[in-house]
Every structure is written in C-alpha cells, then in structure tokens.
Amino acid sequence: MLLQTEEHIKIKWSQCIKEKAEALGFISCGIAKADFLEEEAPHLEAWLKNNYHGEMQYMENHFDMRLDPRLLVEEAKSVISLAYNYYQNLDRNPNSYKVAMYAQGEDYHFVVKEKVRELLDFIQEEIGEVSGRAFTDSAPILEHAWAKKAGIGWVGKNSLTLSKQKGSFFFLSELIIDLDLAYDSPIETDHCGKCTRCIDACPTEAILPNKTVNGSQCISYFTIELKDQIPIEMKGKFDDWIFGCDVCQEVCPWNRFSLPTKETRFIGHEKINQFSKKDWEEITEDVFREIFKKSPVKRTKFDGLKRNIDFVKSL
C-alpha cells in the first residue's frame, strides 16, 4: 500500500510539472530517469573519432558528463525534457540571403532558459526542497537522446528530434533534479521510415546514414562555428544561407504540422527577410547592431557575418 502511495505521489508531481510547463509555453514536456546513456556512448565516441565536430573542440570535453546527468547534478534522479516552439511563417525575400528561422528574434538561450528556471522555482515552491539545474544548449548534454527517452520524439535522419504532431522547429532544454518522478516511455518507432528527403536536400551532403551528421560539413557549422576562412570547395553550395540553415527541416514531411510560435520575442526584425542581397552586402556595423541587438547572430560578430555574405555572394 505504501508503494502505491509513493507511486501516486510521483504521478501527481509529474502531472503538476507538466501542467506548469504547458502554462509557461512549452509545447512538450517529458520525464526520464537520470541514468547513464549506454546506447549513445559508442555513437558519440565514433562521431568524435571521425572528427565530425570539426573545430568545435569543446565537443571533446566532458565526455563522461555528456553521457551521465548525475555528473552534472549531484544525486540527480530525473531529467525533465522540454520543447519550445519557434516556427514562423516567414515572408522571405526570394532575392535575398537567408538567416535560419531560430535566429530571427531574441536569443533562445535567454528566452527559454528563463522559463526553465521558472519551472524549477515552481517545483521548489510546490514540492519542497528540490535541487536541480536548468539547461538550454548551455552544458554538455545529449539533448536529443534525452528528448527521445522522455517521449518527446524520435531522432530523425538529420539528427534532430522529430514529433508526429509538432515537427522539429522547436528548441530543447532540460531540467535535471534530485527528485524521483513518474517516467515517460521513450518513442522507439522511427517514423522517418524510408524517407531520405533531408539527406537528398542537404546542399553540402553533411547528412550521413545512420542518423549521423558530419557537423564539419554543415552550413550551420561553416557560418557560425568556423572562425577561419570557409573552404573554397564549398563555394556555390550554401544556397544563399548566411547564418545557419533550415533546409533539412524545410523538406521534412513532419514539419507540415508545425504551427506558428506564440512567443513574440522570437519574431525578428522585419529587415532580416526584406533586405535585398545588395542591402546585405552593404550592411554597416551600426545596422548590424540594430537588427541583431538581442539575436543569436551576434555570435558571428559583424566581421563573421560579412565573411559569410562575401563567401555566398556571386562573383
């Protein structure tokens, strides 16, 4: 009888957390047991060994921590995985350069993490003394693996988390806490089936078999992560992308179910999609600061964006 009561409490707490997550604007919330990611270990090791991370040297750090959330939060019991929608029906200028959808508005690191911390505050207020940490692409966590274990979606061929109901245009974040909860079942079925649209559409052939992406060949890597000059052999392959890339998501059949985000802070400056190519090529540092004041695009700095534009523009 005691075990049933304890299980009932776990279910009650879990439901309470999910209801609060929904109230905060998250489109999905799933919970998994904080444990070692045994299946992911050999895949991560092989990915690094093949140098698919390119110059992202930070990916080599904290190997064990990436696989075990208990090394991030002492006595961690649960990983709460959360999805926050950023999809927009963008009115892009067809004769312009392109910025990834996620970078249109304010930096998600701040917008989403603020909400995850609010969820942690709620848990501590409602349940009691609970220790934990909030993460939004800010720590060595295999977020797609945890999203799958928590039942949010499955990992697609483009290595992103996909949902039958919500597509893939959402940010993932995690809340790792030292509280036992009722755990969701992982999505074991791969609903991509025999579809290879993302593989076929990738301009730089970065998407490999077995749900592997060669990060060092991805347009997002070249336009964001790479600090040196972009390899000349990539000339003509960027399809006008100057920051990030949405190609593999745009062609994914499951994204026909994506609905526009309700988060107004993700709506970007109108100039981003209305600029002509000439406008971009003549952009000044003052205009850059105005348009991308709170945007993830600031990460490239003005000189980085100019490098991308110069590389993509026709000779």
Average of per-residue pLDDT across 121-142? 93
Residue 207 lies in a domain: yes
Whether residues 143 and 206 fall in one domain: no
Spatial CB neighbours of 192, under 8 Å, sequence gap ≥ 6: 154, 156, 157, 162
Nearest residue to 312 via CA among 203, 238, 223: 238
Whether residues 166 and 32 fall in one domain: yes
Whether residues 8 and 153 fall in one domain: yes
Mean pLDDT score across all residues of the chain: 94
Residues belonging to the binding site for tRNA are 227
Coil, strand or helix at 278: helix
Whether residues 125 and 156 fall in one domain: yes
Give the separation between CA 83 and CA 211, rounded to whole angstroms: 20
Residue 100 lies in a domain: no
Question: pLDDT per residue over 141-174, tens digit each?
Answer: 999 999 999 999 999 999 999 999 999 999 999 9
Whether residues 241 and 173 fall in one domain: no
In whole angstroms, what separates CA 252 from the centre of its chain?
Answer: 16
Residues belonging to the binding site are 66, 137, 158, 172, 192, 195, 198, 202, 218, 220, 227, 245-246, 248, 252
Per cent of the chain over pLDDT 90 is: 88
- Whether residue 130 is predicted with pLDDT greater than 50 in this model: the reply is yes
β-pair partners for 81 = 30, 174
Residue 229 lies in a domain: yes
In whole angstroms, what separates CA 121 from the centre of its chain?
Answer: 23
- Whether residue 208 is predicted with pLDDT greater than 80 in this model: the reply is yes
Whether residues 123 and 161 fall in one domain: yes
Whether residues 250 and 136 fall in one domain: no
* Domain final residue pick, 142, 177, 212: 177
- Which of the residues are catalytic? 137
Residue length, the chain?
315
- Residue 57: per-residue pLDDT: 81
> Dihedrals φ, ψ of 140, to 5°?
-75, 80
Residue 185 lies in a domain: no
- If one counts the domains in the chain, the total is 2
Check the CA dihedral 92-93-94-98 and report its sign: negative
Give the separation between CA 173 and CA 104, rounded to whole angstroms: 19
In contact, 28 and 258? CB cutoff 8 Å: no
Query: Considering the entire predicted model, what is its pTM?
Result: 0.94
Whether residues 218 and 272 fall in one domain: yes
Question: pLDDT per residue over 67-106, tens digit each?
Answer: 999 999 999 999 999 999 999 999 899 999 999 999 999 9
Whether residues 227 and 133 fall in one domain: no
In contact, 201 and 165? CB cutoff 8 Å: no
Buried b or exposed e, range 42-74, using 16+ CB within 10 angstroms: eebeebeeeebbbeeeebeeeeeebbbbbebbe
Question: pLDDT per residue over 2-38, tens digit each?
Answer: 556 888 999 999 999 999 999 999 999 999 999 999 9
The span from the first CA to the last CA of the chain, in angstroms, equals: 76
Give the separation between CA 120 and CA 129, rounded to whole angstroms: 11
> Dihedrals φ, ψ of 85, to 5°?
-70, 135
Average of per-residue pLDDT across 177-195? 95
Reported as half-sphere exposure (CB side, CA atoms, 13 A), residue 267 has a value of 8
* Domain final residue pick, 116, 145, 177: 177
- What is the signed CA dihedral for 10, 82, 165, 145, rounded to 10 degrees? -90
Per cent of the chain over pLDDT 70 is: 98
- Whether residue 248 is predicted with pLDDT greater than 50 in this model: the reply is yes
- Whether residue 1 is predicted with pLDDT greater than 50 in this model: the reply is no
Of residues 91 and 286, the one with the higher pLDDT is 286
- Residue 139: per-residue pLDDT: 84
Residue 138 lies in a domain: yes
Residue 159 lies in a domain: yes
Whether residues 122 and 236 fall in one domain: no
Whether residues 49 and 166 fall in one domain: yes
Of residues 123 and 61, the one with the higher pLDDT is 123
- Write down the H helix ranges in the chain: 2-23, 40-49, 63-67, 108-126, 143-149, 197-201, 219-220, 247-250, 271-274, 277-281, 285-291, 301-312
Residue 182 lies in a domain: no
User: Structural domain of residue 223, as residue ranges?
Assistant: 197-259+268-312
Q: β-pairing, 212-213 with 207-208?
A: antiparallel
Residue 222 lies in a domain: yes
In contact, 237 and 253? CB cutoff 8 Å: no
Average of per-residue pLDDT across 172-192? 96
- Whether residue 260 is predicted with pLDDT greater than 90 in this model: the reply is yes
Whether residues 172 and 306 fall in one domain: no
In whole angstroms, what separates CA 184 from the centre of its chain?
Answer: 21
- Residue 270: per-residue pLDDT: 86
